[in-house]
């Protein structure tokens, strides 16, 4: 079975992408607060969440690897896009001129895989990709990735597998941890140990450091591949 491991990076859309009614709606909770300092704190919290919502952010990078061969592609948006930026090798870095081109290329690859492996993809990456694709009218080649939760086919979400579908709740033995924590626990090189995190993507994009975003995203996927092998070899089949 061909297995695709992937991760996405997202970046908040600018103020100019929203009209006044949308902007007021986004910050409505903050404006209800009576204290100005509390309003500022809440505004900052909401602004930070923009990256998490497909109606306030865009996909700027998708890294993909075959779980068995570790060959794949990294698709990333670059303002200085040129056809010649595509690179050959085990992992090909492909610069895209915009999000529509990136998503189109992603779904073209995805249709060739029977199973997808993610970390928290059911809760974030997959619905984000679905909604951004719908907004941009990009055809979706695989529409079953949110199917039945309690199965690993066609979607193996490691965040759910390692927490046994939340059997312990938020505080029990199988509580959910982040990718960085799992990597360190299982002796896997953590993508966060290289000085870049998802919180840096907006700034890196603004500074035109597109390749750094792509390389960070690829580190996430390589860590997810390693974590998948741990789960497959040591834990798969536990019921």
Indicate the pTM of the whole model. Answer: 0.94
pLDDT at 81: 60
Q: Provide mean pLDDT across the span 80-87.
A: 55
Within a domain: 33: no
pLDDT above 70 for 136: yes
Q: What is the CATH number of the domain that holds 86?
A: 3.30.420.10
pLDDT at 128: 98
Q: Provide mean pLDDT across the span 136-164.
A: 96
Within a domain: 162: yes
In angstroms, the Cα distances linking 23 to 37, 57, 130, 173 are 20, 14, 23, 41
Within a domain: 179: yes
Within a domain: 40: no
pLDDT above 50 for 84: no
Task: Please indicate whether residue 130 or residue 84 has the higher confidence score (pLDDT).
Answer: 130
The number of folded domains in the chain is 1
Task: Please indicate whether residue 6 or residue 168 has the higher confidence score (pLDDT).
Answer: 6
Within a domain: 105: yes
Within a domain: 50: no
Rounded distance between C-alpha atoms, residue 63 and residue 1, angstroms: 20
Expressed as residue numbers, the domain containing 195 is: 3-18+56-234
pLDDT digits (tens, 9 = 90+) for 58-67: 999 999 999 9
pLDDT at 88: 59
Q: Report whether the peptide linkage leading into residue 154 is cis, meaning its omega lies within 30 degrees of zero.
A: yes
Within a domain: 11: yes
pLDDT at 195: 79
pLDDT digits (tens, 9 = 90+) for 18-50: 999 999 999 999 999 988 999 999 999 999 999
Sign of CA dihedral 69, 71, 75, 76: positive
pLDDT at 194: 84
Rounded distance between C-alpha atoms, residue 84 and residue 73, angstroms: 15
Q: What angle do CA 225, 229, 233 make, to 5 degrees?
A: 170
pLDDT digits (tens, 9 = 90+) for 115-134: 999 999 999 999 999 999 99
pLDDT above 60 for 230: yes
pLDDT at 85: 46
Within a domain: 10: yes
pLDDT above 50 for 155: yes
Q: What angle do CA 189, 194, 196 make, to 5 degrees?
A: 125
Tally of CA atoms within 13 A in the half-sphere of 82 that contains its CB = 4
No. of H helices and E strands in the chain? 9, 6
């Amino acid at each position: 079975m061909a297995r695709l491991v992937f991760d996405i990076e997202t970046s908040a859309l600018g103020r100019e992408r929203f009209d006044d009614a949308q902007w007021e709606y986004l910050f409505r909770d903050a404006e209800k607060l009576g204290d100005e300092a509390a309003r500022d704190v809440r505004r900052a919290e909401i602004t930070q969440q923009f990256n998490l919502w497909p109606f306030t952010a865009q996909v700027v990078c998708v890294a993909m690897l075959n779980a068995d061969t570790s060959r794949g592609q990294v698709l990333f948006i670059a303002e200085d896009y040129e056809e010649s930026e595509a690179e050959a090798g085990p992992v090909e870095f492909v610069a895209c001129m915009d999000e529509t081109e990136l998503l189109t290329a992603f779904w073209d690859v995805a249709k060739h895989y029977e199973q997808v492996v993610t970390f928290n993809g059911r809760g974030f990456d997959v619905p984000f990709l679905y909604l951004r694709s719908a907004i941009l009218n990009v055809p979706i080649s695989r529409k079953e990735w949110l199917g039945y939760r309690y199965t690993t086919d066609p979607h193996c979400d490691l965040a759910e597998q390692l927490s046994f579908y939340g059997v312990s709740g938020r505080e029990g033995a199988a509580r959910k941890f982040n990718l960085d924590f799992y990597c360190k626990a299982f002796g896997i090189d953590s993508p966060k140990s290289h000085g870049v995190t998802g919180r840096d993507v907006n700034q890196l994009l603004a500074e035109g450091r597109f390749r750094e975003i792509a390389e960070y995203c690829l580190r996430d996927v390589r860590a997810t591949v390693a974590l998948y092998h741990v789960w497959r070899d040591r834990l798969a089949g536990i019921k």
